């Protein structure tokens, strides 16, 4: 997910500070994934905006239409002598450790269906018994039913997986019937 050319860096400006997004993913609810690089002070300022009431939309920072109570996992690294930092923000519903029974996200650096990740997270988020060997068929059926959709992204791919128990139960039931 690291950019290979300067063209792949998206400048993000906020109140006089400029940082660069190396990759991001957003959906209608707000920011799902964001990777920022820049001077430590600038990254800190932009970071604070995201953790208050701002979001990334169409490559620009804007005031959130509504506060959704989203929580984020943060990964920070800093180049000691250069004054530069790389910070990553990941929505908790895109993190394996923090899933609950709401829609969840899968962020990847490839457009191939992330079946292992999908199965692992689906199995944690939904209380429906299913078999791991069905993951590819479940993925295809979820895309067809609109339960799995791609979000807006730069230099990564992000899927939103709806946690609609009734619709997923119908898919799993059809798969179970097919095995009998």
Q: In angstroms, what CA-CA distances link 67 with 9, 30, 70, 121? A: 28, 10, 8, 25
In a domain, 1, yes or no: no
CA distance linking residue 28 with residue 178, whole number of Å: 36
In contact, 116 and 123? CB cutoff 8 Å: no
Token pair 């430590």: residue: 40
- Domain end, chosen from 23, 57, 92, is at 92
- Domain end, chosen from 32, 57, 92, is at 92
Structural domain including 167 reads: 98-179
Q: Do residues 103 and 172 share a domain? A: yes
Cβ-proximal residues to 28 (8 Å cutoff; 6+ apart), any chain: none
Q: What mean pLDDT comes out for the span 130-159?
A: 96
Q: Do residues 168 and 124 share a domain? A: yes
pLDDT for res 140: 97
Q: Do residues 42 and 63 share a domain? A: yes
In a domain, 150, yes or no: yes
- 5 pLDDT exceeds 50? no
Q: What mean pLDDT comes out for the span 118-141?
A: 94
pLDDT for res 111: 92
Query: Both tokens of residue 120?
Result: 């692992």
Instruction: Report how many domains make up the chain.
Output: 2
DSSP string, 51-72: TTTEEEETTEEEE-SS-----E
Q: Where are the alpha helices (DSSP H) in the chain?
A: 40-50, 115-125, 135-144, 165-179
Q: What mean pLDDT comes out for the span 108-127?
A: 93
Q: Do residues 104 and 159 share a domain? A: yes
In a domain, 113, yes or no: yes
In a domain, 155, yes or no: yes
Exposure of 177 by Cβ count < 10 A (0-12 exposed, 13-18 middle, 19+ buried)?
A: exposed
- 147 pLDDT exceeds 60? yes
**What pLDDT band is residue 60 in, cutting at 50, 70 and 90?**
low
Backbone φ, ψ for residue 62 (5° rounding): -140, 160
Q: What mean pLDDT comes out for the span 85-105?
A: 85
> Model's pTM, two decimal places?
0.84
* pLDDT digits 0-9 by tens, 14-43: 888 999 999 999 888 778 899 999 999 999
């Amino acid at each position: 997910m690291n950019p290979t050319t300067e063209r792949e860096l998206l400048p993000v400006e906020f109140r006089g500070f400029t940082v660069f997004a190396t990759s991001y993913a957003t959906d209608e609810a707000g920011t799902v994934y964001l990777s920022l690089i820049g001077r430590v002070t600038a990254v800190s300022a932009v970071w604070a905006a995201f953790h208050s009431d701002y979001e990334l939309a169409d490559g620009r920072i804007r005031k959130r239409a509504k506060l959704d109570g989203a929580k984020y996992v943060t990964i920070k690294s800093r180049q000691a002598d250069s004054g530069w930092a790389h910070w990553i923000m990941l929505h908790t519903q895109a993190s394996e450790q923090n899933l609950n029974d709401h829609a969840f996200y899968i962020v990847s650096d490839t457009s191939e269906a992330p079946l292992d990740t999908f199965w692992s997270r689906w199995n944690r988020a939904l209380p429906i018994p299913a078999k791991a060997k069905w993951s590819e068929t479940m993925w295809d059926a979820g895309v067809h039913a609109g339960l799995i959709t791609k979000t807006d992204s730069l230099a990564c791919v992000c899927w939103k997986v709806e946690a609609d128990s009734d619709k997923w139960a119908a898919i799993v039931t059809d798969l179970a019937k097919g095995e009998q």
